[in-house]
Structure 1
């Protein structure tokens, strides 16, 4: 390592970098708002500290030496990284946006309809929703994420929100024609491409393992749920996606049986985010909303069981 007396200094580096781009001390001085003599002195001092010439000085121009070109090329990414670091630290001095990584169906079917309530309670927090499905890596730029899983994500703190329970849902007119799970028409059982195990799991629990879903296939739960509401068929609903539609009567659960998916919904975050006021406000609000949704789902489940009895 260079001794302290030979280590570079920021003013000299800035002067050298500007002169290397501009090709003259005069142009660099105009950019830095100092005199050409000041730029020349700073570069000279830098060269003396390093013990190597960085420029060949000619009457009307500067030419980088081999050492100067090497130094310039190495400085470009370092200065860019320094600028990014400075910007990131400066941004933290002001209000921080809350970036939530969440899958599209969860966002549309549950989170976004409730965001107005959060904004009323914490108007100072700027919320940003970004794609954060199960196949998207957890980003350090996110304040938090909401994921379906078993609660074990290395390097992340996780807080349980609610269970991911499964139950079939469909339009009210179609539900009226279904007396038992064995009445389910195989060609009308809507499927989700990444959740092929849902229908077999529920049908086995309902004593109808002989049935096989052969209905249209959708990429997301939300698409299958929309198709069910439009009368296309019966979707395998997953909580909490179906909560609002079932509560409003737009969708009906024709059978009282609810089957655990084997995973649940979790709030995830880096431990370093714990102290951020925006994250704490969102977490507390989210947990309260999750508890309210769970209570409403339990009430609906009780009414379905009572009706079935």
Structure 2
């Protein structure tokens, strides 16, 4: 016989552990922070185990609390997903993908028509957020740049995030060696200030400092490069389509690892869901396609 102790207390504890505070849990559960605290205290009494260490300005989980939360969160996630499936219209199959705006615009959206050919009955919904955006409760999966370590989530590598300068073909004709680069022409991305220094150091021209216009996102810098404003630091897969189409070229052979990779990120129970399984098969196959950097260099040679 299944023995479940005090479900309200378990739900209160899981929310407090995940949000890091009784106030955050209360906002999520529509109760007061004091009510959450009481329910967690009752749960601890019934379990006979302390789950939190109450400190002046924060909550700290005990080892037992960490172990309990690591098991509870996937269970609640799976329950929410199952409930959504059961209550959804029988004719609608929804796949929600969390992805950054530049990845969405420069790689995913241009390829969604191909996915629709393989799975025309799946309603794809894209929700965007930056690299630091938390994994959403309603996401089927996410595509993230990082080190592959997201607690509680499965992360499968998609692309290596190698850095290589790119520019418009006409500008590339003036670049024979890295020493031809000039600081004011090097376009920058605000959230990745280390890209140019890393590549310039590896190329032996660390004395050059990027001082060109600064943009918030890679996509903006790459569009500026297409328009001839300067040389952007390209990162795969953002540059694949522009290089394949000849809008951008990579004038130098040197590529430098960014130190991170792109991953397909999801909760383990999603592997049992056919819509996610179909998307996973498709994106793994699409990501395994050949790189296009050599095509870009070949275009320069043919000019």
| Residue among 279, 292, 300 paired with 2:295 | 300
Q: Distance in 2 between matches of 1:173 and 1:299?
A: 18
Q: CA RMSD in A?
A: 2.3
Say whether residues 1:278 and 2:262 are aligned partners.
Answer: no
Matched residue pairs, number? 222
Deviations 1:156-187 (A, max 9, x none): 00111010010000111111111211111100
User: What stretches of structure 2 of length at least 5 have no aligned partner?
Assistant: 1-79
**Counterpart in the other structure of 1:151:** 148
Per the alignment, in what secondary structure is the counterpart of residue 196 of structure 1? coil
How has the CA–CA distance of structure 1 residues 303 and 89 changed in structure 2, closer, same or farther, with 3 Å as cutoff? closer
Deviation at 1:133, TM superposition (A): 2.1
**Counterpart in the other structure of 1:208:** 205
| Residue among 100, 104, 110 paired with 2:101 | 104
Say whether residues 1:193 and 2:190 are aligned partners.
Answer: yes
Deviation at 1:92, TM superposition (A): 5.0
How has the CA–CA distance of structure 1 residues 276 and 132 changed in structure 2, closer, same or farther, with 3 Å as cutoff? farther
Deviations 1:246-304 (A, max 9, x none): 11110011111111111110000011211111100000000000011xx1336537858
Per the alignment, in what secondary structure is the counterpart of residue 93 of structure 2? coil
User: What stretches of structure 1 of length at least 5 have no aligned partner?
Assistant: 1-83
State whether residues 99 and 144 of structure 2, in contact with CA within 8 Å, keep that contact through their aligned partners in structure 1. yes
Q: Distance in 1 between matches of 2:232 and 2:245?
A: 17
**Counterpart in the other structure of 1:171:** 168
How has the CA–CA distance of structure 1 residues 88 and 212 changed in structure 2, closer, same or farther, with 3 Å as cutoff? same
Q: Distance in 2 between matches of 1:272 and 1:93?
A: 21
Say whether residues 1:88 and 2:112 are aligned partners.
Answer: no
State whether residues 132 and 145 of structure 1, in contact with CA within 8 Å, keep that contact through their aligned partners in structure 2. no
Say whether residues 1:263 and 2:260 are aligned partners.
Answer: yes
So what's the TM-score if we normalise by structure 2?
0.69
How has the CA–CA distance of structure 1 residues 216 and 116 changed in structure 2, closer, same or farther, with 3 Å as cutoff? same
State whether residues 184 and 211 of structure 2, in contact with CA within 8 Å, keep that contact through their aligned partners in structure 1. yes
Q: Which has the larger Rg? A: 1
Say whether residues 1:249 and 2:229 are aligned partners.
Answer: no
Say whether residues 1:229 and 2:226 are aligned partners.
Answer: yes
Per the alignment, in what secondary structure is the counterpart of residue 110 of structure 2? helix
